Structure 1
Amino acid sequence: MSNIHIPAALSLALLLGACSLTPVLEKPVAPVPSSFGATAGVGASGADLGWQSMFGDPRLQALIDLALKNNRDLRLALLNVQSVRAQFDIQDSTRLPTVNANAGLVKQRSAANGAVAASVDSQKSAGIGISAFELDLFGRVAALSEAAFARYVASDESRRAAQIALVGAVADAYFTQRLAEEQLQLTEHTLADWQRSLELAQQLKAARQRSGLDVAEAEGQVATAQADREARLRAVALAGNALDLLTGVHAAGGLPSGIALDRQPVLVQLPAGLPSELLTRRPDIRQAEQALVAANADIGAAKAAFFPQISLTANLGFASLSLSGMFDSSQRTWSFAPQITQPLFNHGKLRSELRLAELRKSAAVVEYEKAVQTAFREVADGLAGRATYGRQIEAQTRVVGSAERRLALSRLRYDAGQDSRLALLDAQRLLYASQQTLLELRRNEFGNAVALYKALGGGLNAS
């Protein structure tokens, strides 16, 4: 036994740990069509665009930058990545032996025995040792390490998905704020116009040129606009609160001025690329893929648990009664204690654990396929909106123009006494409603562009 070289034995054992019972992972075929259809167009994917290129409004850019620096959900996502990374480091460290240095002192007093007087003996020791290191002959530890690493990568993909979602959420909240502010301006302008009409109706009634019915109708119209104004004021406040939460700070002051909805420099005609690009662009799909890798590695660990587990405890050092001669070669000590454990009877626990691992892999396959299908549907929805919103806005713009002409004619006919006030009120309400609808359509077009941008995996790069 004195010829045994412990480091050499350890090296041989580590070399033997090359067997792996983890099944070969075959990624499922994406259950989606090979193209997005005629609405997709040609060109590179919109994911290649940085968010500064996608959103040209300086105020929106400043808000997104604030959110990326201060948003608490994004901070939590980053902390979660770091936590899962630490868990991987802990698991991966078990693949190599842990070497500990030790030193000790033992003092012992022996009792007197007849002519032998009582005495106190002491022994000093120092050495290095390995405690219960598992020789991974069947790849159990390696499989657990692989699963831990895949979960770390999945957590980082989750952080990237959270960043994309944050960029989109800030853009959506900003466009909602712009819509609320512009609807408030339109409502206040309309209210002022209708109040002047009410004053005119009151003057005409006082001059006995109009009846009290005209005044009552005008009063109802003004009250409606006043109620709308309160709703718009509330919408502006709520949109501001949403932006404050997303950016993590109260960002009302010190930012560039915003741009009106009808002049927003937002790219609404985004190229979609090919469906296969989603598999490499979308962090949520890559997250589901890494979850599948982890579940597959868990199967290997569960299979390896059926085979013997060999652990090794070894120690090399010196022991002596005196400190001065402790490191002499004659005082060298060593111990080598391998241990093998073979499961014999555990009431089906290992088989149940293997079955559970296989079921979790099947669930991970379904989650991966669902993520791909969801991504395809989101892109297809965005492309459908891209193809129709522009034409709808053009048509609604013509509606507004027609309503403006109708109101002008109705006012002339009312002033000439050829129409009742009811016809004038209808023309005013139609113009007001058509203008509100046009504002909402423009905001919805930007919302669709944001959704398509996120669906394609854009929003990770600044430019």
Structure 2
Amino acid sequence: MHHTQKIWMALAVAALLSACAPMGQQKPLAHAIDATSLQLSHGQLPHTQTEFWQQLNDPVLNQLMAQTLQDAPDLAATRARIDGAAAQYGLARSQTGPHIEADATYNRQRFSEYGMYAGLFGGQYMNSFDLSLKGAWEFDFWGKHRAQMAAAIGQQNALQYELEQTRLMLAQAVLTQYVQWQNLLRQQQVLQRRIAVQKNAAGLMLNREHAGLLAGSDVYPLQMGAHQLQAQIAQIDGQIDAIKHALAALSGQAPDALRNVQPTMWKTVPTVAAANVTADLLGQRPDIAAQRETLQAASANIKAAKAEFYPNVKISGLVGLSSIEIGNLLETGAKVVNILPAVTLPIFNSGALKAQLAQSHAQYDLQAAQYNKTVLTALREAADALSDAQATAKQSQERLAAWQLLQKASNAKAARVRAGLDNKLSMWQQQDDALAAEGLYQSALTAQRLAWVNTQITLGGGFNAAANHSESAGM
């Protein structure tokens, strides 16, 4: 009992001594901005749907999106990082419990004739047989391993949110390319109709030239215009091929996989309810949630670094059998027992622990700056997206009105030609103007569709931080 009391007294003295290990002067941690400091209102933004593109009822798009979100290399890479974070958590957790291992050894040794055991075994070969169970348990009095576990969980959650952000970026890339593909096909159709109109006008001019009513130079501008429009069609063919190649790469397919695929031509444009940016955006964006989890992990790393300034208490033990004759190995007298409590004191380490703590503080400050930047960028992107959605909707309305007016003028001109009150040349010029206005209107619709896509992405694409945190906590 007297011996046991000495051991516990030594442990108590060690704990008191460790309290003297100075942490040094550390700068205050950086402040992470929040909705209150940003003076954001607590109204509700329009909440987007998960897989929001399905409301378009486009089977071609749905197939492309499903394959992209299943086979994209970026997603596979993030999933691998999540597995690595899970393994890191398992490693941190393993440090909180006892470690036990079995050991069986056989040793044959010749002893020196001049060594410590020369009188007993000098010049002899001796055998040694050992069977043992070894164990060690490090007590986590100061929460070092618990903090490491919390940091690993935070990093794993952050990667889960990064996976959601990667999905959103891939969805945006697919939708952007798809909408541009639709627009290029519409522009080609308009250009082909304009070419037909200009060829009709050029034919009329040629007839007048042959009749001696016009000089040949008067026909050249119309002929040149038709060739320029043909060149634009050829250019669009190349752009469409590039889009098909890009979509194939995004969905993990060969470049020519979409050679015979045609997009569905949407008849309507989705709309976005007008709103101001509010505080709930901070819970609707996976990139913000990822940065927040990483910041919490950095905070846990600071706790782990502080725990290094306190004593590390560890108990090691061994129980087993040892004999120089294998026949005696299982005898009671071969039993070996060893218990070793150990205390590691951070008395002098040339400033290593202080530097380690300062480094963890710096990592926290860096992450806080990154989090703040992500929040401010998200607010700007959301505000821009909502403004752009309204601006493009207004622009498409104006383009539609202009096209309709020119179409009415073209129809009126055609009526005058049928009545013999006007000439066909001016009618075809009016038709070409109306077709050019239609092309501008289609471009405006494309801008409006892209604004809708961008709004869905900047508002989180159906992500919900609270729901996703509950799911990740249950993993």
AA aligned opposite 2:145:
V
1:125 aligns with one of 102, 127, 130: 130
Q: Give 1:220-369 correspondences, 5 Å limit.
A: 220-250=224-254, 251-252=257-258, 258-261=263-266, 263-264=267-268, 267-270=270-273, 275-369=278-372
Q: Give 1:416-427 correspondences, 5 Å limit.
A: 427=430
Aligned to 1:448: 451
What CA distance in whole angstroms lies between the structure 2 residues aligned with 1:443 and 1:339?
71
Aligned to 1:98: 99
Compared with structure 1, are the counterparts of its residues 330 and 278 closer, same or farther at alpha carbon in structure 2 (3 Å cutoff)?
farther
Deviations 1:99-143 (CA, angstroms, capped at 9, x unpaired):
111011123456899999976542321111135x54332222322
Query: What TM-score, normalized by structure 1, do the two folds share?
Result: 0.82
Alpha-carbon offset, residue 333 of structure 1: 0.9
What CA distance in whole angstroms lies between the structure 2 residues aligned with 1:400 and 1:364?
52
What CA distance in whole angstroms lies between the structure 2 residues aligned with 1:336 and 1:26?
48
Query: Structure 1: where are the runs of 5+ without partners?
Result: none
Aligned Cα root-mean-square deviation (Å) = 3.8
What CA distance in whole angstroms lies between the structure 2 residues aligned with 1:295 and 1:154?
12
Q: Give 1:387-402 correspondences, 5 Å limit.
A: 387-402=390-405
Query: What TM-score, normalized by structure 2, do the two folds share?
Result: 0.80
Aligned to 2:81: 80
Larger displacement relative to structure 2 (47-56 or 437-446): 47-56
Compared with structure 1, are the counterparts of its residues 273 and 217 closer, same or farther at alpha carbon in structure 2 (3 Å cutoff)?
closer
Q: Percent identity?
A: 22
Query: Structure 2: where are the runs of 5+ without partners?
Result: 465-475
Compared with structure 1, are the counterparts of its residues 97 and 27 closer, same or farther at alpha carbon in structure 2 (3 Å cutoff)?
farther
Are the equivalent residues in 1 in contact too, given 2:315–2:342 (CA < 8 A)? Answer: yes
Alpha-carbon offset, residue 320 of structure 1: 2.5
Aligned to 2:468: none
Are the equivalent residues in 2 in contact too, given 1:51–1:460 (CA < 8 A)? Answer: no
What CA distance in whole angstroms lies between the structure 2 residues aligned with 1:249 and 1:158?
24
Aligned to 2:470: none
Check if 1:169 corresponds to 2:182.
no
Are the equivalent residues in 2 in contact too, given 1:198–1:222 (CA < 8 A)? Answer: no
Q: Give 1:367-378 correspondences, 5 Å limit.
A: 367-378=370-381
What CA distance in whole angstroms lies between the structure 2 residues aligned with 1:153 and 1:349?
30
Are the equivalent residues in 2 in contact too, given 1:58–1:258 (CA < 8 A)? Answer: no
What CA distance in whole angstroms lies between the structure 1 residues aligned with 2:423 and 2:41?
57
Deviations 1:251-274 (CA, angstroms, capped at 9, x unpaired):
42786x63324x14x632258697
What CA distance in whole angstroms lies between the structure 2 residues aligned with 1:116 and 1:459?
79
What CA distance in whole angstroms lies between the structure 1 residues aligned with 2:219 and 2:273?
52
Compared with structure 1, are the counterparts of its residues 110 and 404 closer, same or farther at alpha carbon in structure 2 (3 Å cutoff)?
closer
Helix, strand or coil at the partner of 2:135: strand
Larger displacement relative to structure 2 (218-227 or 154-163): 218-227
Aligned length: 439
